[in-house]
Amino acid sequence: MNKISFYIFIQIFKGCSLIFFIFVSIAWLLQLTRLISLTNLIQIDIITIIMLSFYLVPNLITIIMPFVLIFGILLCFIKLHRDRELIAIYTLGLNENTLRKPIIIFTIIMTFIFILLSFYFSPNVYKKYKINEFEIRNKINFERILISNFLKIGDETVLDFKKNNNNFENIFINFFDDKDNLIFSKNGQIINDKNNYTFRLSDGFKLSINDDKEIEKLEFENYSLEINNNNLAINDNLDSNTLNIFEDFKTKNYKNISYKVIDSLLIILIVFFFYKNNIARNNFNLNNNISYISISTFILILNQLFKNSEFNTNLYLISIFSLIFLLTIFIYFTKDKYVQN
């Protein structure tokens, strides 16, 4: 790589670094804001929340990286074009490899990083996030709760109450079982013993539906019941995003592998689409830039929507590979036109 190619490589790196910092910062702050909302429910120190949010960063990077390349490389070459540096390169009579080589090298490096993240590091770190989030949400410490906001305990129980200092008032318990029991108590105590909750209630009533589908009301002065929360399993909180490449092969989750392979191919294609559509034509007018951003962003968003929906897997693969094929045909048959604007 000659000095000019290296200079272009550095400019691409600077442009992508700027976009990367902006995009990741915005995405991380949005996730941090969502996690901070947990402090409205449970008194969690801000350091714990911030550390938990860092577990999301690798996963955010794998989602954002293709968009970073779209806007970062575009920003770099718009600057080179505006400063007349591209015209100077063409005037010197340098061949197209001067522009192509730094783009290819940068794309290979970014694709390699993306593969490492998406196939191994991101799933492992995201798994730690899901485990820690599960423990925070489901290992409830009632002594630290500020506002109950209809807590879900287990699969069939919802709890709501008002806490006044260390006293529990206006306790509402709803059981979503066959009899749909509902309990209300003006006062009570809630004891958590290894995720088994004991409720000692006073001055309240219990509503239930009998076998004749009639509502029965039982008033009480003192009432005690236990709710077991151990039926919650950490595996219920894990998904395919927590599986690395070795676990995918072990569980024969070829669908997840195909998703990641397609993501890697799309990164390469959108970069070379930019090369053919903009750089090879030396065309950086507004309409051309908008068309590149629109088409590339549409393909990436469509890919994400397909992956995160109940869309038929075979139809998804056919649709995405068709888009990849059409984009490849466009790139291959588009002629390079080094026109000095």
Residue 339: pLDDT above 50? Answer: no
Query: For 184-215, what is each residue's pLDDT tens digit?
Result: 888 887 776 666 677 888 888 888 877 777 78
Q: Which residue's structure tokens are 């589908």? A: 213
Q: Across-strand partners of 184?
A: 172, 205
Which pLDDT band, with edges at 50, 70 and 90, does 338 fall under? Answer: very low
Among 32-46, 174-188, 215-229, name the one with the lowest average pLDDT. Answer: 32-46
Average predicted confidence (pLDDT) for the chain: 78
Residue 341: pLDDT above 50? Answer: no
Which pLDDT band, with edges at 50, 70 and 90, does 58 fall under? Answer: very high
Query: For 115-170, what is each residue's pLDDT tens digit?
Result: 999 999 999 998 888 888 777 766 655 655 655 556 666 556 777 777 776 677 88
